[in-house]
Amino acid sequence: MYKQVTFILITILIISATLMKPSEAARIKDLVNVNGVRANKLIGFGLVIGLANTGDQANNVFFSIQTMVNMLQKLGVTIPENRINQLQFKNAATVMVTTELPAFARQGDRIDVVVSSLGDSRSLQGGTLLMTPVKGTDSITYAVAQGPVSIGGFSVQGQSQGIQKNHPNVGRIVGGAIVEKELPEFFNSKKEISLSLKNTDFTTGSRIAKAINFKMKDVFAEPIDGRTIRVKVPKFYINNVSGFVTKIEKLEVEPDTAAKVIIDERTGTVVMGENVRISTVAVAHGNLFVQITESPEVSQPAPFSEGQTTVVPRTDITVEEEEERLLLVPKGVGIGEVVNALNAIGVTPRDLIAILQAIKASGSLHAELKII
């Protein structure tokens, strides 16, 4: 008996703790970005060789020949100037190489690159990217890319028709670039950090600052505006800012959201947030269906009579109008009541779009109506 009572008490405590915890709380790391911790775009221009006669056409892409000649000259191969215009490299293609340099990347790290045809190459299937430096906006080389290109498909062309799977002019090289230069960073020596909200909201920013201050038992965080929270690094975490960020990013905060209704008229999709409210409004909904059916008939003359066979048109028109019902939606109802009330009059997603637009026009919908 004592064990049963103990088990029941433990169960009640677990249920109570679950109910007390906010069900919609999210981690701080999922709500904010740490300023200065981001990836950087890199780009390069290179050559893919080893193609099966699917490379650039020299007559159309003149810079393909120039690129090939420059590369051969750097390797010690001299080509007479009077023979350059006669060169035909059907197995090579000029490409643009793009990638991202992750935050805190170190020399020797490998990153993925995307290779995209720049000329009129028909396919990069089976090609190999030659050593290509990829640079940042400051024109400094941060990584070098090279390796076999994988396009994840194929393209086969016959005399009359062909078959293509996926996009053969864009490929990927997994781990195809090696980081050669690191970005300077002084993250651990910072005395304060800035957290940037992914979605601007004053209430959420204030809640994050309160959660950090409550955890650290002091005032270290303060919201600067609707998107930025400034956090001072405690003395205990000086020269260990990474450990401080690890401590606070696991804190859970219930984010606040603005009342929005998102409408996609192309697909008939309607998404409404939980904070959508509607003032007292009456809604009448009905549809008019008009169906026109053509059933032509053939008219033939009687046997041995003078006449000719003709086609007689016959049109049937059916008009059907749905019964209109007037529904009263009370003031201040939530999203669940709104959906139930509109479903009660049998609306479809397409009809719901028109109804919501009309309610918004009347001033009774207290939410942002966004059409995408």
Phi, psi for 52 (deg, rounded to 5): -90, 75
What is the rounded average pLDDT for all residues in the chain?
79
Residue spans of the domains in the chain: they are 40-155+163-179, 186-253, 260-296+313-371
Q: Is the pTM of this model over 0.85?
A: no
- Please report, for the chain, how many H helices and E strands are present, in that order: 8, 25
Q: 119-135 pLDDT, tens per residue?
A: 888 888 889 999 999 99
CA–CA gap between residue 364 and residue 355 (Å, rounded): 12
The encoded tokens of residue 159 equal 């005399």
Q: 13-33 pLDDT, tens per residue?
A: 344 444 444 447 889 999 999
Q: 67-109 pLDDT, tens per residue?
A: 777 777 777 777 777 666 666 677 888 899 999 999 899 999 9
- Of 35, 20, 28, nearest in space to 195 by CA: 35
pLDDT of residue 19: 41
